[in-house]
Structure 1
């Protein structure tokens, strides 16, 4: 169908690649992806770190797992291309939980508390926005519900149970990309969890991207091409002009349609200078008020692991939660350290919110030192060696992301997600379209949400041209 217009896609992350794949499958012949960096993936970033069985061992600086299998668009790609062998589900509480005075909490108690925590977390899914206290947060709700469930345990276990709850609240925080105090309770149910657990990708998340890219024409992706300005004001031409910065100077592209897939963090900081005319006021309001949080990872590597395989999961059960100075006590926001599939010498630590942002201002040596001190303290072993290497993510200070993923904040509502997803029309044509995890109402913050959003916008362009062709025949 050569009658179909030209499409420029901004960003080669999961949303942009999925949009391009779907457009090309639908008969569009003029599709270009403009990618500001030198790689595909966006907030998916599989990275080599160490060795495993003679090959480069992998770590995920960004997206880590497939969240659920039932109805997960990314899981379907992985399954179709045999990327799930061996099939490994995440065990969130693998390894052991430790107290800050260097004591290991029994596995049976940890598992019982985890069961209770998950039951309370599931009740968030059933909350009616009209019933929930408008001022209440995830933090208040979880604390109150967990306090009630404390009565199910003997009194001599209460201190350990509370410490385990604190550990699990750190897990829920990095899962949500923000300190729980900043998450409004009334919208807790708008995110939809998929069944099937969290599934690991043995060949790394990049293996999924690679099979999508193989379906795109050669030179479809223009790397190191940073979009600076999108002018879409001409009613006569019905085209948009995109001005880009490249290593060799400015470059211009023209297209009938632009699908913008950059992160909400980038839209927050750049929308006013990126679009001409400015985006509609309701869309600007939604961009400004939606939440965009930060999660970072700390990878520590030892030449010789100090742990037994299968027991390297170290969960930090703090006596008190990190609700004070997040900069001074940033390390209290670390959930703990986990083992990594197919990378025997490395542990991954998780940190969220304000503490994760502060982490980016610190040196590798400071972070390595503090993490070593924590591991020695919680394991009660002053002889644990300092790691030989460290790699960290820094999503907040990365100008191409400016954070990790979106959430519904106190100043926003689920309707803002729908508003962000609305195309901008000129003379009845969808000229500027929006995709990315922040535009997906049920699955924001996930890679399957990003994939669905890219397919959604590609499908809307396909429908637009089918209706146009039908109207021309009549």
Structure 2
């Protein structure tokens, strides 16, 4: 009987010891050939490319409980669904057309400009726009010098001043705001000259008018199961010190999970990387950290406004040149006209666009 008691005590002790083992030590590492960090547009398109090559040995880790990132965020207003995250697109639009999306080439120059008194000053705005555009074109030689490492990068405001542009009136300021601040989401004095130079080489913009019946990433979603997509996995560490890359998820030690892969693709937004909550082992090179910290993020907000009837023109954009001094930066500078024939006719909706702040 004594021998049996010793066996029972050993079994009980072993079970108790196992129950107190740190959860991170007890977790079994999950392995894959490829790890994709983030299930936003970049991560899902990466999965699409792998699947197109019949490569299925991958896992997507997403910190939230949904996929798609900003491209899947929608707002229902006035019986219409707005998708602010991917309203405008540029580049290769063939796959969007194959998915049945409706696309309309967008004309940012189809505007109407009014002052505080409601007077139409569009002709004057067109004149100032031509002067600004000429000065912007003249900055290309400065930008090319930066690209060729012949001179340091400078901000847009400095470059434009060097080429003779200086906003001297509310009209100048709204034209300048539309060309720079709205385009980038930040004030021009914080915009990189070379960054906007490269963007100016991009093809035309398109507005998505119809998202079809399937959605932007429906073809990928249909092929992702629980083995390939892990939601609610917040990545906290990427360790490249070994033969393979180890990725750790979990906000607390008790929640930690480890994933091991030959290759890891990081598709996190700049905002996530700038938070400093993701640890890299070894640390990122100094030059890369510097670029991550220097890059400025822009914020553009849209306020949906619905009226009893339409009282504005058919211009795509209605700009407001205000001389008010008691407001922060610009006073409701731009409105996107949604009540257009190829958008949402009869909706009586404008979208007020706000960006930037007073320094």
| TM-score grouping bracket, smaller chain normalisation | 0.7 to 0.9
Q: CA RMSD in A?
A: 3.7
Aligned to 1:387: none
Q: Distance in 2 between matches of 1:243 and 1:178?
A: 33
> CA 1:305/1:242 → structure 2, altered by over 3 Å: closer, same or farther?
farther
Query: Is the Cα contact below 8 Å between 2:105 and 2:205 reproduced in 1?
Result: yes
2:233 to 225, 236, 242: 225
Mapped to 2, the partners of 1:113 and 1:207 lie a distance apart of 44
Q: What residue is the counterpart of 1:417 in the other structure?
A: none
In the TM superposition, what whole-angstrom CA distance separates every residue of 1:256-286 from its partner, at most 9, and x where no partner exists?
2221111122112226x42233233333233
1:201 Cα deviation (Å)? 0.6
User: Cα distance 1:5–1:260, how it changes in 2: closer, same or farther (>3 A)?
Assistant: same
Q: Which residue of 1 is the match for residue 119 of structure 2?
A: 104
1:270 aligns with 2:276: yes
- 2:54 is the counterpart of 1:27: yes
**Cross-structure match for 1:173:** 181
Partner of 1:66: 89
- For 1:48-87, what aligned pairs fall within 5 Å after superposition? 48-51=75-78, 56-67=79-90, 72-73=91-92, 75-84=93-102, 87=103
- Relative to the length of structure 2, the TM-score reads 0.73
The Cα of 1:315 is off from its aligned counterpart by: 0.6
Alpha-carbon offset, residue 9 of structure 1: 0.9
Q: Provide the secondary structure at the position in 2 that maps to 1:88.
A: strand
Deviations 1:428-469 (A, max 9, x none): xxxxxxxxxxxxxxxxxxxxxxxxxxxxxxxxxxxxxxxxxx
Matches of 2:220 and 2:284, distance apart in 1: 31
Counterpart of 1:209 in structure 2 is: 216
* Structure 2 residue 314 is matched with structure 1 residue 310: yes
CA separation in 2, counterparts of 1:210 and 1:18? 8
> What corresponds to 1:292 in structure 2?
296
The correspondence for 2:356, drawn from 349, 353, 358, is 353
TM superposition shift of 1:32: 1.6
Instruction: Choose from 166, 175, 190 the match for 1:182.
Output: 190
For residues 206 and 225 of structure 1, the distance between their equivalents in structure 2, rounded to whole angstroms, comes to 29
Instruction: Identify the residue that residue 335 of structure 1 maps to in structure 2.
Output: 333
Per-residue CA deviations over 1:69-115 (Å, capped at 9, x if unaligned) read: xxx23x1211233313xx42223254521113x13224444444444
- Aligned residue-pair number: 318
Q: Which residue of 1 aligns with 2:247?
A: 241
**Other-structure match for 2:24:** none
- Give the match's secondary structure for 2:35: strand
Relative to structure 1, the CA distance from residue 234 to residue 244 in structure 2 (aligned partners, 3 Å threshold; closer, same or farther) is same
CA deviation after TM superposition for structure 1 residue 348, in Å:
1.9
Cα distance between partner residues in 2 of 1:190 and 1:7: 31
Match of residue 264, structure 2, among 255, 258, 262: 258
The C-alpha deviation readout for 1:191-245, integer Å capped at 9, x for no partner, is 35223x321111259966234534643333322322122233333xx24133235
Q: Hey, what's the Cα distance between the residues in 1 that align with 2:141 and 2:83?
A: 32
* Structure 1 residues 255 and 23: alpha-carbon distance in aligned structure 2, compared to 1, 3 A threshold: same
Picking from 33, 39, 50, the partner of 1:6 is 33
How many Å separate the matches in 2 of 1:104 and 1:19?
50
Supply the distance in 2 between the matched residues of 1:117 and 1:32 (Cα, whole angstroms). Answer: 49
1:345 Cα deviation from its structure 2 partner:
3.7
> TM (normalized to structure 1)?
0.57
From 279, 286, 311, the counterpart of 2:284: 279
Give secondary structure in 2 for the equivalent of 1:294: coil
CA separation of 1:311 and 1:281: change in aligned 2, threshold 3 A: closer
2:27: which partner in 1? none
1:455-466 map, 5 Å: none
| TM-aligned CA deviation for residue 22 of structure 1 | 0.9
